[in-house]
Amino acid sequence: MKILKIEFRNINSLKDTHSIDFTIPPFNTSSLFAITGPTGSGKSTILDVISLALFNHVPRLGKISKKDIIEKGAILTRNQQEAFARVTYECKSGIYTSEWNISTARTGSLRDYEMQISRKPTGELLPLKKSDVPGKNEQLIGLNYNQFIKSVLLAQGEFSQFLKAKKDERGELLEKITGTGIYRQLGKLAREKFQDVNLEIQKQQDAIALIKQGLLEETQLLDITNLLSEKEKTCEPLEKEILSLNKNLELKKTLEQQLKEIDRIAAERESAEVDLKEFLAGYGPVLEQHEKVRDVAEELRDWKRLSLSCADMDKDIDVKNEQVRENAARLKECLSEISGFTRMLVTQETIETELENFSAKVNGLQKKVDDKLVEYETLKNTYKLETRDLNCPLNEKDPVATARQLEILKTSASQKLNTLQANLTGLDLENIEGEKFRLKRYLVEARDAWKLSDNLERINNDLRRLQKDEASLQTAIKELPAEIRHSEDNVKIYEEKLKNIRLEQRNRELQASLEEHRTQLEDGKPCPLCGALHHPYAEDFPTQDDDLSKKLQLTENELSTWRQRFNSNSTTLNHHQKNLKEIIAQKEALENEIKDHSAEFREKYQDLGFEERANWKELCDQSQNQIDQLEEYEKVNKRMECVETALPVLNELLKISAQGRELRANLEEVYKGKDIHSETRGFHRKWTTLREAEKAMAGQLKELSNKVVQSREKLTLQEANLKNLITEKGFSSIPEAGEALLPDNEYYKLHASRAKLEKEIEKNLNSLTLLNSQVEKYKKDDVEHSAEVLSNLHFEKKQQLKMVQDECEELRRALKNYKEDQKRLQQIQEEIKDKEKENKRWKMLNELIGDATGKKFNDFAQDLTLSQLLVLANSRLKDLSDRYTIDKSAPNEDDGLVAIDEHMGGQRRSVKTLSGGETFILSLSMALALSDLASRNVEINSLFIDEGFGTLDPETLDQTLDTLEKLQAESSKTIGIISHVDSLKERIATQIQLKRHGQGYSTLEITA
């Protein structure tokens, strides 16, 4: 995984938009760079941007939410409305850009953050929700957030604490640094699981003890069984006696109910007889009269219907005679209207002929008018078609004004044509389309040639720039080897000089130790070396020389300067040689491209007479001007043709218009209506309708008269037959008999009511007979005791039975509980056996790794991790210093880590005795080792090392930077060092400089 580009806007103190592209100079020529600036300027913000864009986490704050930004004032720069963090990185599956952004709504409230991933170079967005983006980055990179900040973003502070920590503290620190807290959790869970299973077994054993306490003894069980048998035998006679009492009580209850039912039915029968008398008093005579004429009811109804029908037909004949008179009046009125319409005297015999002749005359005049109108519209459309491009519409109210306007247009077009013909001399104006095509093709080719010429000029400029860069690099490459040799010689000289000075310094330190003892001698007190009490040389000893320390400091500074110069020149020479090869390759590619483009230009445009350095703008403008004038000539010539065509059409329009007005005047003298066909058809239809109505009404009148005669004859015959029948039944006339006849539905309703009452009386009589017989039978089976006595006796027996049954039930419950307890006891014992068998593995696991805090297993796991980490750290430490290796402490040593001093014969020293610089070197090796450990399955090509360089002396700092440069050169890693050490800033040329300004804002600048 390698970070290619970092972009961000308004993150913490870094206001506005900033971009750090590691694929372009100076980062692609020098992958070791420094991030420098004063405290609080925003150096660590660059690391925040990386973790925020990838995982929505910031090392100092954790996971970021909108609430955190609002409450803590984090991430978003003060007084800004939006922010984003964007990181482009390369991994095994390709190049991706991950982005985090947040903005403010119009209302001023902060929107929630958004995250997205896009694939490069297409820019295609991956279909992910924002919550899925960190997980997708983890999948693509191969590292989760904790692994990433320990593999890519290395902080020295945690490892400085780790080196000096005691054994108990070291496990917790290593757990925190490596993010392996899972081992502590496993140790705690192993103990908790063992305790949970043990607790369940203990609970079940307690339950067994409780059950055994409540179990019956064998003698108690036998007594209860015998007592239950005796009680069950006592219940049987009591149950029989209660059953007999129940029967007697039920019989008395039934007898009482039957007597009550007899009284109720007798009352209902009496009520029904009263209702029947009342019904016969009210409806009896009507029903009797109807039943007399019921057998001739159909004849009476036929007579009534026929009488009504004859009366209705008489009325219809009167109405029809009135309609005949009204129709005759309408016929006369219609004949008068037709005479007025045709302006001729019309009779019934000539009406159709006169209407047809008048319609034909009007149609002839109308057709002539329409023909002229069609001819006028045709010419008007022709005029519109011819003048559609002239902006000269037809003024139908004043056509003469339109003719004058056309003459003006003709004169203007003629003058413009003459001017354009003079400008287009040399072109074939008879073949305008051909000339336009030729000029347009020429213009396209000229523009293509212009682009190719510009491209050649750009390539030539690039070639000249590369030639200049090549000459500059060759000069530098020639000069640098001499400077490198000179620097190397000086380094050797100063190293030798430094060695001599340090030797002299050690000698003086030994001498100074003796002189220090001399200064502590006092007269009268024995010397610790010889025992003398008098010390004549304790005073006036020579003073120490301080010049040697200054000389040592100057020599170290000079050595550091020459080493710096040697490393810098060596690195610069390697970069220059690499860049020179790239420039030579680019120059050859550009020269080949120039040859290809020149050959292409000659091949394409030699026939057209183009030159590579022609005035292309003037050439293209001239061709475009000729095309524009040709198109203008074509338009004006077309307008001229339209005017010449439109003038004759307008004159013909004037002539047709006059003829049409004359024909319309003739038509209006004869007919002023709008539709002659409709009006003549209307009159003809009205006349025909009235005549047909006249014939129809005559036929209907005749038919009605015949029907009346037939109906009268039939009615006379029916009256003769009915009269004899009704006389026999006691009626004096047919209408009187008809009045006695009830409607069928009314008769059926009255008849059903009478039958229902009669049936109810009969039903009540049968029920009384049956109930009386049953009562006599129940009285024979009844006992002498009253119901109250029987009920009291029944209650006493039931109470006795209940007492015995309750005692039996209590005894049965005791027996049942005994059986259930035995079964439950057996079940629990089997469960305990199963759990004890299962708990063996949890017991073993608890003994091996379990404890209350998880410390046992965590210490074991962290010890293994520490061993692996120390192997990797010592491998890295070899590149930083050949003096020390790191080891775990022995049982008799301080429980911190141990540094083995190879310069002192493998002496083991506690890391707490190391200087600040030595501690930093060991911390850096541990940090690099953790990066190797965390990324053992992922290739990491980007590292950021945060602070710690200020504790190093110049020599060690140079050695550390040499190691980092070596690491960078061997692995092609991009390595960024965050520091404010001045000498570090001087050593590393490529820098990202952060500067603080007013109002708490900072700026970012990239220098090389």
Which pTM was predicted? 0.39
631, pLDDT greater than 70? yes
Closest to 1005 (Cα-Cα) out of 991, 996, 993, 997: 993
Comparing 186-195, 889-898, 945-954, which segment has the lowest mean pLDDT? 945-954
Determine contact, residues 86/99, Cβ cutoff 8 Å.
yes
Q: Which of 678, 702, 730 is the last residue of a domain?
A: 730
Contact 988, 567 (CB under 8 A): no
Lowest mean per-residue pLDDT among 148-157, 265-274, 343-352, 759-768: 148-157
Per-residue pLDDT, averaged over 747-751, amounts to 77
Contact predicate 576/470, CB 8 Å: no
The percent of the chain in helix, strand and coil, each rounded to the nearest 5, is 70, 10, 20
User: Beta-carbon neighbour count of residue 728 at 10 Å?
Assistant: 9
Q: Going by DSSP bridges, is the β-strand pair 974-978/32-36 parallel, antiparallel, or unpaired?
A: parallel
Q: Which two tokens mark 149?
A: 């900040």
Rounded CA separation 23/5 (Å): 7
Distances (CA, A) of 413 to 388, 418, 646: 16, 9, 14
- What does the alpha-carbon distance between residue 136 and residue 142 come to, in Å, rounded to a whole number? 10
HSE-up of 120 (CA within 13 Å, CB side)? 12
Tell me, yes or no, whether 174 lies in a domain.
no
Model confidence pLDDT, tens digit, residues 161-176: 666 666 666 666 566 5
For residue 698, is it within any domain? yes
398 and 318 in a common domain: no
- In the chain, DSSP finds a helix count (H) and a strand count (E) of 22, 17
Residue 200 phi/psi, 5-degree rounding, is -65, -40
* Cα–Cα distance, 567 to 965 (Å, whole number): 9
Residue 237 covered by a domain: no
- Which range of residues forms the domain containing residue 396? 370-425+616-670
Q: Which two tokens stand for residue 994?
A: 């952060």
To which residue do tokens 């007084």 refer?
A: 79
The answer to which of 356-360, 782-786, 972-976 has the lowest mean pLDDT is 782-786
- Other Cβ atoms less than 10 A from the Cβ of 29: the count is 18
117: exposed, middle or buried (Cβ count in 10 Å: 0-12, 13-18, 19+): buried
Cβ-contact 982, 18 below 8 angstroms: no
Check residue 539 and give its pLDDT.
53
Bridge partners of residue 58, in order along the sequence: 62
CA angle 554, 556, 560 (to 5 degrees): 115
| CA neighbor of 557 nearest in space, from 488, 613, 498 | 498
Pick the range with the lowest mean pLDDT from 33-37, 300-304, 485-489, 885-889: 300-304
Say whether both 574 and 698 belong to one domain: no
For residue 538, pLDDT over 60 is answered with no
Query: Is residue 543 pLDDT above 50, yes or no?
Result: no
Q: Quick one: 508 and 395 in the same domain? A: no
Residue 183 has pLDDT above 60, yes or no: yes
Report yes or no: 174 and 862 within 8 Å, Cβ to Cβ: yes
Region 439-463: what's the mean pLDDT?
Answer: 80
Comparing 51 with 651, the larger pLDDT belongs to 51
558 and 638 within one domain: no
> CATH code at 460?
1.10.287
Q: Are strands 991-996 and 57-58 parallel, antiparallel or unpaired?
A: unpaired
Number of domains the chain contains:
3
Is residue 975 within 8 Å of residue 968, measured between CB atoms?
Answer: yes
Beta bridge partners of 100: 85, 115
**155 beta partners:** 946
Rounded Cα–Cα distance for residues 508 and 544 (Å): 9
Mean pLDDT, residues 241-257 taken together: 79
Rounded distance between C-alpha atoms, residue 283 and residue 279, angstroms: 6
In a domain, 230, yes or no: no
Closest CA to 698 of 323, 330, 332, 333: 323
pLDDT in tens, 21-33: 988 888 877 768 8
Stretch among 17-21, 572-576, 749-753, 982-986 having the lowest mean pLDDT: 982-986
Q: What is the β-pairing status of strands 2-11 and 991-996?
A: unpaired
Smallest Cα–Cα separation from 901: which of 871, 868, 877? Answer: 877
Q: Are residues 508 and 553 in the same domain?
A: yes
Residue 86 has pLDDT above 90, yes or no: yes
| Whether pLDDT at 395 is above 50 | yes
Q: Give me the chain's average pLDDT, please.
A: 79
Of 670, 695, 710, the position where a domain reaches its end is 670
Q: Assess if residue 752 is contained within a domain.
A: no
Q: Which of 117-131, 536-550, 700-714 has the highest mean pLDDT?
A: 117-131
| Residue 450 near residue 621 (C-beta atoms within 8 A) | no
Tell me how far the alpha carbon of residue 209 is from its chain's centroid.
61
Half-sphere exposure of 828 (CA within 13 A, CB side): 19
Return d(Cα 381, Cα 314) in angstroms, integer: 72
Under 8 Å CB-to-CB from 35, ≥6 apart: which residues?
Answer: 43, 46, 944, 976, 977, 978, 979, 991, 992, 994
Distance (Å, rounded) from C-alpha 508 to C-alpha 873?
Answer: 37
Query: CB neighbours of 466 closer than 8 A, spacing ≥ 6?
Result: 583, 586, 587, 590
Residue 46 domain-assigned? Answer: no
| Residue 498 predicted with pLDDT over 80 | yes
Looking at 337-341, 680-684, 724-728, which range is the least confident one? 724-728
In 3-state terms, what secondary structure has residue 938?
A: coil
pLDDT at residue 541 in the model: 46
Does residue 544 register a pLDDT over 70? no
Could you tell me if 585 and 722 lie in one domain? no
Residue 786 lies in a domain: no
Q: Please report the beta strands in 29-149, taking only residues with DSSP state E, as ranges in sequence order.
A: 32-36, 57-58, 62-63, 82-91, 94-103, 114-119, 124-125
Provide φ and ψ at 70, rounded to 5°: -70, -50
Residue with the larger pLDDT of the pair 543 and 271 = 271
Q: What is the pLDDT of residue 848?
A: 79
Residue 474 has pLDDT above 80, yes or no: yes
Split at pLDDT 50, 70, 90, the class of 763 is confident
- Hey, how many other C-beta atoms are within 10 angstroms of the C-beta on 254? 14
End-of-domain residue from the set 585, 605, 625: 605
Relative orientation angle of helices 787-849 and 182-214, to the nearest 10 degrees: 140
pLDDT value at 542 more than 50: no
Considering the domain architecture, whether residues 573 and 454 belong to the same structural domain is answered as: yes
Residues 388 and 509 in one domain: no
Whether residues 493 and 573 fall in one domain: yes
DSSP codes joined into one string, 947-960: S-GGGS-HHHHHHH
- Judge whether 996 and 38 are in contact, CB under 8 Å: yes
Q: Which residues, 6 or more positions from 154, have their beta carbon under 8 angstroms from its beta carbon? A: 927, 928, 930, 931, 943, 944, 945, 946
The 3-state DSSP class for residue 195 equals helix
Measured CA to CA, the distance from residue 409 to residue 405 in angstroms comes to 6
**Span 301-307, mean pLDDT?**
76
Quickly state the pLDDT bin for 56 (edges 50, 70, 90): very high
528: preceding bond cis by omega (within 30 degrees): no
Quick one: which of 378, 408, 376 has its CA closest to 391?
408
Same domain, 312 and 383: no
Q: Are 69 and 104 spatial neighbours (Cβ–Cβ below 8 Å)?
A: no
Q: Rg of the chain over CA atoms, in angstroms?
A: 64
Please give the residue that has the higher pLDDT: either 63 or 791.
63
Q: Is the pLDDT of residue 135 over 90?
A: yes
Q: Is residue 589 domain-resident?
A: yes
Residue-wise pLDDT tens digits, 824-875? 888 888 887 777 777 777 777 777 777 877 777 777 777 788 788 888 888 8
Q: Of 965, 926, 870, whose CA–CA distance to 150 is shortest?
A: 926
448/605 Cα distance (integer angstroms): 10
- Containing 819, the helix (H) or strand (E) segment is helix 787-849
Q: Check whether residue 694 and residue 661 sit in a common domain.
A: no
**What confidence score (pLDDT) does residue 181 get?**
67
Maximum Cα–Cα distance for the chain, whole Å? 194
Side-chain-facing half-sphere of 300: CA atoms under 13 Å: 23
Predicted pLDDT of residue 775: 79
CA angle (125, 131, 136) in 5-degree steps: 55
Strands in 542-693 per DSSP E: none
**Tokens representing residue 333 in the block:** 């009125």
* Same domain flag for 304 and 383: no
Mean pLDDT of 4-30: 89
Whole-Å CA distances, 743 to 286, 308, 738, 740, 750: 12, 18, 11, 10, 11
At residue 51 the predicted structure's pLDDT band, cuts being 50, 70 and 90, is very high
Please list the residues that pair with 57 across neighbouring strands.
63
